[in-house]
Every structure is written in C-alpha cells, then in structure tokens.
Structure 1
Amino acid sequence: MTLTRPHRRTRRAGEALLCLIATAPLALAALPAQAEPMTFDTALQQLGQRSDQLAASKNAVESAQLRRDAMQRLGGPVVNLTGAAYAYNANLDVDLNPLNRVLPGVLSQLPPQLAAPLAQLPHLPSSYTLNRHKTDTTSSVSAVWPIYMGGASNAARGLLDAMTHEAEADAAKTGHEATTLLVQRYFGTQLAERAAVLREAALATIEQHDAAAQKMLDAGVIARVERLQARSALEEARRNARKARDDAELAATALTRTLKASERVTPTSPLFVLGEPLPPLPQFIDTALARHPGLSKVAAKKEQATQLHAAQEALRKPQVFAFGQRQLKTGKEADWVAGVGVRWTLWDSIDRNALAESSNRQIAQAERTGAQAQNDIALLVEKRWLGVEQARRQFLAMTPSLELADEVLRLRAAGLKAGTSTTLDLIDAQVNQAKAQTERAQAAHDYVKALADLLESCGLSEDFGKYMARADALKVE
C-alpha cells in the first residue's frame, strides 16, 4: 500500500518525536537534590522535641501536678516560730501634793524623838517623774492542728486533681492536633513535590515536542495551525509547572518551619493507602468514647464542680482544731498556752443554700455536656471513618484510569509514528497521563489526611505509624 504525502509527513514527524520522547527522563535527573531527607517517624520525634505548643501544654500539666503535690499535706499541723527584738522608754508622772498634805499629820502622831528629826527634812516636790527604759528580745513557738474541717481539705485536693486531669486532657488534645497537622504538612509536601515533578516532566516532554514541531513546520511537514496548538500547549504546561513548583516550595517551607529545622526538610515516607478496609466502625466509636480528650476534659470539669460542692458543704460543718504556744525560755518563767477550739458558723451574710444549688447545677451541666459530647464524637468518628473508606475506594478506582492514560499515550505515540495521530494528540496524551498520576497521588493524600483525622477523633494519633507500616503494597512512590 502506498502512503499519500500527508501520511508520509506525519510518519516522519512521529519518528522524530519518538526520538525526543526517549530522552525525556533526563529532565528529571537534572532536578536539584533536596536537603535533610526525613522519614515521618523522625519528623514526629522532632515535632515532640521542638514544638513550642507541645512544650507549653507539657508545662501546663507539670504546673498543675506541682500545685497538687504542694497541697498533699493540706489540713495537717502548722508550726510557726516567732521572734522579736524590742526597746522601750516609758515616763510616769507622780503627783506628790496629797502626800505633802498628809505628811504633817503623820509626823504629829509620831513620838517626839522621831518626829523632830523628820520635821527638819525638806518638803517633797509637788510631783515626780519616773522613767523606765529597756532593750530586750522575745521568741515563741506556736502550732495549730486542724482536727476536723468537714471535708474541706479533701475537697481542695480533689479539686486540684480534677484541674490536673483537665490540663492532661488539654495536652492530649494538643498532641493529637499537632500530629494531625504534621501529617497534613508532611504528606502535603509529598503531594506537592510529586505534582511539581510530574508537571515539570510533562513540560520537558512538551518542550521537546514543541521544538520538533517547529522543525517539522520549517520542513513543511505540518500545518501552521498545528504548530500554534503545540505552542499554546507549551505555554499552558509552563504555567502549570511554575505554579506546581511554587506550591511545592511553599509546602516544604511550612513543613520546615513546623519542625524548626535548620535546613529544608524533604519527606521520604511516601503517600500510602491501605488495601484492606479499616476495622469495623463500632470498634472506633468505642475507642473514641474511652479515649477522646474532649470527654476526659468534660469529666474533669464535672469532678471540679463536684469538689466545689463538697467544699461549700464543708463550710456548713463545725471545725475543730488544736492549738498551742510557748515562749522559748527555760525554767518555769516561760509562758505557754494550749487547748482545743471549735468554730461553727451559725449564720453569715452568704446564702449557702443558693451556692449549693449553683454547684449542683454545674454538675448537671457537666453531665449534659458529656452526654452531648459523646453523641457528637460518635457522629464525628462515623463521618471520618466513612471518609477514609471513601478515599480508599476512590484511590483503588483510579487504577483503571491510570492504566488507560498509559495505554492512550502508547497508542498516540504509535499512531504518530504510523501517521494516524497528530503532535497535539500526543501532547494531550502526555498531559492526561500526568494528570491521572497527580489525581492518584491526590487520592492517596486524601486517604492519609482522612486517616489522620479519624485517629485524632478516636484519641489514637500515636497509632498513625502502625497504619503506615501496613501499607507497603500500596505506597505511592
């Protein structure tokens, strides 16, 4: 069979393009190497060591624990040592006029042999000032020992325990959220880098197609409209590649700053998808209701309200305490006192009944909040579990599309060689293949993100690495 002239021209153009396609992988080898490769497990360890948010939550827990430890012996004896150094000067005016008036009568009653000498004495002054000054020290030791406080000490310790549990729940929530954020940024960087590489590979191939098309136009093998179509495809590929590279740079920067690394972080753990379905939904719901930090925080709030109620009720009861004080002196001159006291408030200006009812309402509020939180968390877990399964099925459903894109590219290349396809057809096939590969990577990223969200809602973020290790067969390299 004899080929017509257009067919022979198209065949020659296809042969030229196939020679250029064979050199396309060299464009990928020219990409600059990234610094500081890092697996996800290493990134998670560094996040725990460097995150200010995690450090702040840890400090909050330690502060609450130390505050509780400080109140461990609340309600025990209190011993005080008191000392003082003092100086004083005292003046006392004594009126002697009454004595001067009485003295003559007293002398007249004395025997003459005594009265005569005393009568020769001068008169006393009308007044006399006595002065006393001294410098001294004093010291004493005193003790108070509450014997019965109506349960106030236990209520105070219980309140601090509940506050510690709340801080621990907040810290756990912060840890789960930080892990989820790391998953998003780590594998988001993987996705963005893969998309950029695919776009740049497609650009390199289309540039070669464009150069070949220009040569074929100069040789008169193709029409000018076909040449313009190739140039338009090249410009679009350049825009897409540039945007994809910018997105990859931004994603890598976000990951590097999240980990506070000195060099740009390059993730090495690939995107993945579990081929098998997840365990049944009720298993995740039961785990969430047992481990979700939000429920732990609600329980801590309820315990705080309960302990506040107990403390308020303790104020209604009598308080019994022992006390004692003694001067630090030797011998019998030391002053001391000891005894037992009772204090019972019979009436004050505060309405204790209203306070008790208020604390009871707080307890009821915490109970209602907990019940609502359980329903919300169960619904959230179900939604995210379904999201994981949907992402898994979508990923698996893309395998035929990727195989079809590969087959179309092969057929377009063969068709160009045989003269049944155009340059633009081959470029479109190349672009569609890159698009299919990118969409498949996007589906894997959606699965990873959905899995991280599900584990966070169940309080199982630390198990993410276990799921990743089980996905060897479906890792997206």
Structure 2
Amino acid sequence: MKPIITLLRKPNMVCLSRQTAPGASGVSSAFDAAVAANARAIQGSDALTTAISAGPVPVASSAGRTFMPGLLTALSLAFFAALPSFAHAQSFDEAWQQLQQVSDKLAASSAKVDRARAERDAGEDMNLPELSLNGSYTRLEKPLEMDLRDLNPLASLDPSTLPPALGAALGSIPGELFITPFTEQDIFRASLSAMWPIYTGGRISAAQGIHEAHLAEEQQQRELTRRELFTTLVDRYYGVMVAAELARTQDKLVVSLEKHVEHAKKLEAQGQIAKVERLNAEVALDNARVQASSSRRQYEITELALRSLLKSDPAPSSPLFISSREPSLPYLAELTQKGHPALKLLDAKESQANGLIEVERGAYKPTVFLYGNYTLYEDDSLFAKMEPDWMLGVGFKMPLLARDGRSGKVEAARSALLQARHTKAQTREDLSLLLEQSYRQLKQAEEEYRALASSRELALENLRLRELAFNQGMSTSIERVDAELKLTAVDTQQLGAKFRYVQAYARLMAISGQLDEFVGQTKQVAMGDQQ
C-alpha cells in the first residue's frame, strides 16, 4: 500500500494539491512586480509647473546616449503584433485535444494500463489445465537385468543334494540363458503430462481479482494524470495570454513616460522646472523600461512552456472569462465524492488488499488436482512393455507445517486493508478541503474583478479630467501621467483577478470531473466575442 500513499502526497497531483505551471508562476509574480513598478513611477516624479505639447524629437538619455523616443517601445509592440504570423491560432479546445495526443506522460500512463490489462488477461489462464511435453535421456550404470538363479526355487537349491543327472543337466546350461534384460543401458522416453487444479482454496480466484483491481488502479491513475495535464494546460495556455497582455501594458506605459520625459526636457530648457524634476522623470522611465523588458522575458518563458507542453507553436485564441453561471458547491462536492479517480484508485487498492488476504488464507487449505500421463515414445524393452501407455488420477496436497510465515502474511494483508481504508478517509477530507479552497478562491477572484470595475471607471474619468486640465494648462504633465499609471495598475489587477478566476474554475472542474464543462465554457465565450 505504500505506493498509493506516496502518490496521494505528491504536490503535483491535482486531486490533493496544486502546483502552478512553470510558465504561470512567473505570470502571477509579474502582476505584483507591475503594480510595484507603477507605484515607483508615480513616486519617482514630482509635479511639473506648465506643460506643452511636443512631438517626437531626438533626446539625450540620462546616460548621455541619443535615441528616438518611443522607438524601442514601438519595436517591442511590433514584436508582439507579429507573433501570430509565426504561430497558428489555437483555441483551448484544440490545444486540449492536441495535448492528449502528444503528451508522453499520458502515453506512459496508457502503456501502464495496457500492461495491467495484459496481466489481467494472463491471469484468466490459471483456470485452464496444464499440458506439457516431456522428453528425457538417461544412461544407467548398467542395464537392469534379472538372473533366474537368484530367484526361488533355484536360489535355494543345493546342487550337491540333487540327483547326479539333474545336477549335471543344470550345470550344462549356459549362465546367460538364466538372465532376463529389463532395460537398455541408454534409455529414451517421450510423454505428455497434464495437471488441472480443481480446488485451490480460493487462491486462483483471489489472484484474478487482484489483477482486475490492479487494472482499475492503473486506469484511475491515468485519469489523475489526465486531469493534472488539464490544469497544467490551463495555467500555461492562459498564462501566455496574460503575459502578453501584461507586456503590452508595460510597453504602453513606457510610451507615456517617454512623452513625459520629452515634456520635462523642454520645460527644463525653458527654465520652468529644475534639473531634479527631469531626472526624476528619467528614473521613472528607466524603471518602466526595466519592467517592460522583464515582462517581455516573462512572456517568452511562458510561451516556451506552452510550446514544450503541446510540442507545437500555438497562439492562444480563447480569451479569459468570468462565467455567468456560478458553480454549485454542493453539486461539485457530490460529484467529487462519488467519482473522483483518487477515491476509485483507493477502492482498487482495497480490493487488492482483500484479495491478498484470501490468497494467504488459501494457503491453509488443501489443493486438489487431476493429473495424467501418456507415453509417446519408449525403448523396446521388457520394462517398457510392462509399463502402461497412459494413466489418470486425482491428488491433493495439504500443507501441515510451512516455513513461509503464513500467519504473518495474513496479518500483513489485513494491515494493508486498514491502511487503504484510512487513506481513503483522509483523501475524502483532503478533496473536500481542496474543493472548498478552490471555490473560495474562485469567489474571491470574481469579487475582486467586479469590485475593480468601479476603480477602473474612476481611473478613466480621472485620466479624462487630467487630460482636459493638461490641455488647458491647469494641470501638470506628471499629474496626467500619474492618472495613466493608476489606470494601468487597475487594468493589471483586473487582468490578474480574471486569470486567477480561470485557474480556480479549472481546478473546480478538474476535481469534480467536469473537464468538458470548462471546454464548453471557453467555446461559449469565444462565440460571444465573435458575435
């Protein structure tokens, strides 16, 4: 029973715990980094007095290098815009179907199922009789012979007591005439032998039941692997979309800060602001560029993780979503407790333990069998002629004393059964906890997303007013940029909440076995976007 406990305690098993995919973990941390970068950009600039509009002009950076403002950002935006030309658009449903076809991990689980099925089929042959062809060659020290003089009455005769005529007659007979050969010195034999156990104390049926339960175990393990791959695909598939959107947002922020630096340089040249104000603006721009570069690297990492998983170069096309239908926690809990593969796997382990108990108990019972033998070839000897060509019989074997520790094996099998039952009870609790956790994370992400709607509306209105005030000379450039930074921060938080919602929703569907429900939701959202 040890392997199943190890299985259920592994952190990457979807049934009991969750491990974020390599591409998705960086995306989640990127949200916090993006928000922090926006805050640094806001704090790193002070208010400017008067702003003037200006187009792109060559500007010297803080390091003394000359560059075209917006050129680097324009190239990075062009990089993201050109991605679909290198990768083919792929919906989540298509990606899921492809993953099930190309996954080596799932193929390995399927191979284990095939192996267990073959072992189960092989176990059915234990009900059949055993028939074997036997052949032998034997060389004897000397042939088996019988001397009549060694048999009564000749052996007990004393020649001196016989009449002279009779004694002379017996003495004149050659000695080899008294010898009868039974076998040759070299013996060749060939035969067919059969043995058919008709009662084994239930050991055959118990062994067959163990094979059947092992097949069920491997089938449920394959389903666990399938669900694990499903959640991994969700993390990586939507992680690519989130990372790309986050990178675009950061690049747009760089564009805005580049304009802000241009304004600051012009205002400094006109003597309207101090040098430190321009330096603060450049520091904010440099920080934004670093964050934008980090976002692009993170996008490349998530894309690489998805490409490795699907063994292709896809461009995710199914958008993030917030489902209009709230999942029912009691219904999900009922589905989970009835049909989760981890519980069915433990049922199979319990059946194997019961079968093992029956096997060990059968060792105390007799074995009854039929046997037979048919001679195909034998030497032309007297002994061969005397031996029958075939024979049939029935036999039994009853162990009285054995040194294989039968009683200890029975107790070990009972302990394995108890272990399976306790593990199953613990697994039910773990599944209930995981389901409750995922459901609360789903609700939290949804509430956060909807709550940020008012914050976004406020940020949009604030940006609109700052833009109007800036154009009328009643607001500073930094105030307008601050408003844009706040809008970017809200958009980033909403994007993160939506991503966490999809992850929690996928976990709920995977735990309860409703993978098709999630796929159907992605199709419905895609159709709504097209309309």
Q: TM bucket by the smaller chain?
A: 0.7 to 0.9
Change (3 A) 1:456 1:82: same
Q: Provide Cα deviations, 1:126-150, integer angstroms capped at 9, x if missing partner.
A: xxxx9x9766642100110111112
| Structure 1 contact 14–416 (Cα < 8 Å) conserved | no
Cα contact 1:273–1:448 (8 A) shared by 2? yes
- Partner AA of 2:400 in structure 1: L
Which residue is equivalent to 1:127? none
Q: Aligned letter for 1:398?
A: L
Cα distance in 2, alignment partners of residues 241 and 299 from structure 1? 52
Deviates more, 1:150-159 or 1:45-54: 45-54
Structure 1's 243 and 399: CA in aligned 2 closer, same or farther, altered over 3 A? same
- TM-score after normalising by structure 2: 0.74
8 A Cα contact 2:113 2:215, kept in partner: yes
Q: C-alpha displacement at 1:352, in angstroms? A: 4.1
**Is residue 321 from structure 1 mapped to residue 356 from structure 2 by the alignment?**
no
Counterpart AA for 2:296: R
Which residue number corresponds to residue 43 of structure 1? 95
Post-superposition Cα deviations, 1:424-477, rounded to whole Å, max 9, x if no partner, equal 1122222222222111111111111111222232233453212323445997xx
For 2:132 and 2:393, the matched residues in 1 are separated by 16
Whether the 8 Å CA contact 1:193–1:248 is kept in 2: the answer is yes
Structure 2 letter corresponding to 1:146: P
2:354 is the counterpart of 1:301 = no
Aligned residue in 1 for 2:234: 183
Structure 2 vs 1, CA of residues 106 and 54 (structure 1 numbering), >3 Å: closer, same or farther?
A: same
Q: Deviations over 1:303-351 (max 9, x none)?
A: 1111111112222222211000010159997532210012222333455
> What is the deviation of 1:214?
2.1
Tell me what 1:277 maps to. Answer: 326
Q: 1:80 aligned to 2:140?
A: no
Partner of 1:389: 443
Alignment partners' CA distance in 1, 2:143 and 2:190: 26
CA shift at 1:25, angstroms?
11
Is residue 102–residue 311 contact of structure 2 (8 Å, CA) maintained in 1?
A: yes
Distance 1:232 1:356 in 2: 75
Moved more, 213-222 or 140-149: 213-222
Alignment of 1:323-342 (within 5 A): 323-329=371-377, 335-342=389-396
**Percent of matched pairs sharing the same residue:** 32
- Structure 2 gaps, min length 5: 1-48, 57-68, 148-156, 176-180, 379-384
Size of the aligned set, in residue pairs, is 446
2:491 is matched with which residue?
A: 437
Task: Please identify the structure whose Cα radius of gyration is greater.
Answer: 1
Specify the code of the residue in structure 1 equivalent to 2:358: A
Paired residue secondary structure (1:74): helix
Residue 159 of structure 1 and its aligned partner are, at CA, apart by 0.6
Match for 1:172 among 215, 223, 226? 223
What corresponds to 2:65 in structure 1?
none
Contact 1:159 1:304 in 2 (8 A): yes
Q: What is residue 339 of structure 2 aligned with on the other side?
A: 291
**Is 1:58 paired with 2:110?**
yes
The answer to whether the 8 Å contact 1:14/1:419 transfers is no
The aligned residue for residue 218 of structure 1 is 269
Q: Any conservation in 1 of the 2:50–2:267 contact (CA below 8 Å)? A: no
Change (3 A) 1:104 1:232: closer
Residue 357 and residue 109 in structure 1: after superposition, are their counterparts in 2 closer, same or farther (change >3 A)?
A: same
- Kept after mapping to 2: 8 A contact 1:149/1:319: yes
Could you say if the C-alpha distance between residues 93 and 468 of structure 1 is closer, same or farther in structure 2, counting changes exceeding 3 Å? closer
Partner residue, 1:207? 258
**SS of residue paired to 1:348:** coil
* 2:78 corresponding residue in structure 1: 30
Unmatched 5+ stretches in structure 1:
1-8, 96-101, 125-129
Cα separation, 1, equivalents of 2:192 and 2:348: 41
Work out the CA distance in 1 between the residues paired with 2:409 and 2:243: 58
Residue pair 1:388, 1:450 contacting (<8 A) in 2 also: yes
Q: 2:124 is aligned with what amino acid?
A: Q
Q: Residue 31 of structure 1 aligns to a residue in which SS?
A: helix
Q: Distance in 1 between matches of 2:402 and 2:144?
A: 46
Q: For 1:1-38, what per-residue CA distance to the aligned partner results, in whole angstroms no more than 9, with x for missing partners? A: xxxxxxxx936x14769xxx999997776235122233
Task: After TM superposition, list the pairs within 5 Å mapping 1:66-145 onto structure 2.
Answer: 66-84=118-136, 90=142, 109-110=164-165, 137-145=188-196
Stretch deviating more after TM superposition (21-30 or 175-184): 21-30
What is the TM-score of this pair, normalised by structure 1? 0.82
Q: Counterpart of 2:373 in structure 1: which amino acid?
A: Q
CA RMSD of aligned residues (A): 3.8
